[in-house]
Amino acid sequence: MNFIINKINKILDKILIKKFKIKKFKFFIYNNYLNNQYGDVYINLSTLYFLNSKQQQEIGYIIGKKIINKLKKYIKYYRIINNNLNIYYNNYFYLKIIKLLFKIKFNKLLISNKNRKKKILIDYLSPNSNKPLHLGHLRNIVIGNTLANIYKSLGYKVIESQIINDRGIHICKCILSYKLFFKNKKNIKIKKGDHFVGKLYIKFEKELNKEINYLIKKYNINKNEAYVKSKLLKLVNIELIKWENNNIKILSIWKKLNNLVYKGFKKTYNKLNIKFNEILYESKTYLLGKNKILENLNNIFFLNTYDKSIYYLYKNKKIIVLRKNGTSLYITQEIGTLLYRIKKHKKLFNIIYVVGNEQSDHFNIFFEIINKLKICNIKLYHYSYNTVNYLGKKIKSRRKINNIILIDELIKYLNKIIKKKFFNKKINKKKILNLSISAIKYEFLKINPKKIINFNINNILNLKGNTGIYIQYTYVRILSIVNKLNNYKLKLNNIKIILENNEKTLIKQLIDNKNIIKKTIKTNDTSILINYIYNISKIINNFYNFNKILKIKNLKIMEIRLIISKIILKFLYFNMKIINIPILKKI
């Protein structure tokens, strides 16, 4: 949108090639948002390192003059300070941009026809069906969902996909726990299904622990030996075998418990305002992929002659892809699921796996295999993010259930805090929830996915400063002004107002929206977008405080500020939708 930078670039190219015969050189034009002394954009002349500083300055002056000549309309003047060529926009430039921004629809800003027909599948959640969603999942959800929203805003068709791990020993533990410890209590109240099943799991683990300790004392043996002797473990394995043999009784409990969990999950998704348009279940996909491997035996995959398992050779390591008993593994399933998706969604352009960085090896192997199998031309990408630590330790979702904070619990804590803060004002439950959700999402998005999050409940409970609530608050404040002037008819022609510095800074930054979003995708870093929104919000609040609108007598100034306010609303609305932070009309 910043047409000036394009024009400056063209001028730079011409001068360098024609006057100085420097062909393979490109200046980088920097934006300056902070320092009012320096130009709105600047070029660092030192990048012409092959010339001495006198020559650099000479070139600087020539470029400066040329730019002034060509772009008189938009540029006030240029200065060379500390070997930087600073270029200053004039008032007309800002007014022109304001007019542009006022007309433009932000949600159509990024859409290009190139992307319109392209389908992208984003696989961003794979919960186990034996426990509620927790902080570890939250990072996954928030990043995946934001990514999906960005691609949608670019015009792609996006499939948001999750695959639920609904089979295996973990769920059998819940089934057994239900049979042994809960079934006879007819008056069980189930508020939220996933929490109930989670309790079943904890109960089992507790009982197992008791038994193991008992065995260790009684027989004076070590832990591993006790595991072998454990009756509970034996029983669980029997359940698992029954499940694999399609035992009707087991299957019916299994279905019952899973459905409870899915209902619970759905409630949590609703709170977070996310929707998946593809839900896969491992019980249905775990047999896929086996045939593909057998088809390519001796060609890509090889047989272990001594035990008849099948492996793939990755960096001289044998990676087993089919067990000796012929059953599938994680990687086998991954291949199968891909085959399934290719069939189901025709013309997929791209699949993005938003999965923790601990699985980067898995994906490297997976992608290499897919490459060799020549299954498809779809671009596959592992969007990896780092772990969430709690109390100094990584949250391990697979085995342990204690030492984690559930998403629902976190929301509850926050709701309480927010309710207290609003002691005197009327505020309904839904608004409290929306505030909590925004605080939570924002907290996870604002940190670069590459970095470990050391989760501290106090950070998120402190609702000051750089938080999701701040962004919402900014929106609400501006909205209240605009609402009060709802009937005012604006005339866009012949605005001739000299803008304030904060207004200029604001406009300069607003122009960057498109680039920032593109960069967010390019670098796989949601914190870029968040920081951008936050920085602009700070300027907006400064604007709110100093550039009064309702109280100003000069109608023309009031009008231009109203226009800027409307642009701000459009901007925030658009970007809040992308990071999926709820918009509060009024607190």
Q: Looking at 91, 230, 357, 509, which residue binds RNA (CB under 7 A)?
A: 357
Considering only residues 484-503, where is the footprint of RNA by CB under 7 A? 484
Are 173 and 250 in contact by the 8 Å Cβ rule? The answer is no
Nearer to RNA, 257 or 479 (CB): 479
Instruction: Report 72-91 residues binding RNA (CB under 7 A).
Output: 81-82, 84, 86
Residue 307 lies near RNA (rule: CB under 7 A):
yes
Is the CB of 178 or the CB of 543 nearer to RNA?
A: 543
Reported as type and span, the H/E element at residue 394 is: strand 393-394
469 binds RNA (CB under 7 A): yes
Question: Could you say which residues in the range 523-542 bind RNA, by CB under 7 A?
Answer: 523, 525, 527-528, 531, 534, 538, 541-542
Binding residue (CB under 7 A) for RNA from 99, 421, 518, 566: 421
* Residue 219 lies near RNA (rule: CB under 7 A): no
Which residue in the set 277, 459, 501, 554 belongs to the binding site for RNA (CB under 7 A)? 459
Binding flag, residue 193, RNA (CB under 7 A)? no
- The answer to whether 122 touches 148, Cβ cutoff 8 Å, is yes
CB of 42 to RNA, least distance (A): 3
Nearest distance from C-beta of residue 540 to RNA, angstroms: 8
Options 418, 507, 533, 567; binder of RNA; rule CB under 7 A: 418
For RNA, give the closer residue by CB, 46 or 270.
46
Decide if residue 451 touches RNA (CB under 7 A): yes
**Toward RNA, which CB reaches closer, 235 or 320?**
320
Q: Would you count residue 296 as binding RNA (CB under 7 A)?
A: no
The C-alpha torsion from 269 through 275 and 279 to 282, rounded to 10°, is: -30
| CB of 403 or CB of 459, closer to RNA | 459
CB of 398 to RNA, least distance (A): 5
Q: Is 124 in the site for RNA (CB under 7 A)?
A: no
Return the number of other C-beta atoms located less than 10 Å from residue 263's C-beta: 13
Maximal C-alpha separation, the chain: 94
Q: Which amino acid is at 531?
A: N
| Interface region with RNA, contact rule CB under 7 A, candidates 63-71, 135-143, 206-214, 452-460 | 452-460
Binds RNA (CB under 7 A): choice among 70, 271, 477, 518: 477
Token pair, residue 447, equals 């940190």
Contact between 110 and 155 (Cβ < 8 Å): yes
Distance CA 557, CA 547 (A): 9
Segment near RNA (CB under 7 A), from 197-205, 232-240, 246-254, 322-330? 322-330
For RNA, the binding residues in 383-402 under the rule CB under 7 A are 386-387, 393-394, 398
Query: Does residue number 54 form part of the binding site for RNA (CB under 7 A)?
Result: no
Best CA proximity match to 49, nearest among 83, 15, 8: 83
Residue 494 has which token pair? 């012949």
Binding-site size for RNA (CB under 7 A) equals 95
Concatenated DSSP letters of 158-212: EEEEEEEB--SHHHHHHHHHIIIIITT-TT---SSHHHHHHHHHHHHHHHHHHHH
**Interaction mask 543-572, RNA, x per CB under 7 A:** -xxxxxxxx---------------------
**What is the C-alpha separation between 176 and 399, in angstroms, rounded?**
17
How many H-runs (helices) and E-runs (strands) does the chain carry?
23, 15
- Closest Cα to residue 472, out of 560, 556, 320, 577? 577
* Closer of 120 and 132 to RNA (Cβ): 132
Question: Which of 93, 94, 156, 470 touches RNA by CB under 7 A?
Answer: 470
Of 75, 73, 74, which Cα lies nearest the Cα of 64? Answer: 75
- Long-range contacts: 489-494, Cβ < 8 Å, 24+? 490/559, 490/562, 490/563, 491/559, 492/99, 492/102, 492/563
488 or 546, CB closer to RNA? 546
Output the smallest distance, CB 219 to RNA, in A.
Answer: 26
Q: What angle do CA 582, 583, 586 make, to 5 degrees?
A: 130
State the number of CA atoms in the 13 A half-sphere of 584 facing the CB.
Answer: 24
Report if residue 106 touches RNA, rule: CB under 7 A.
no
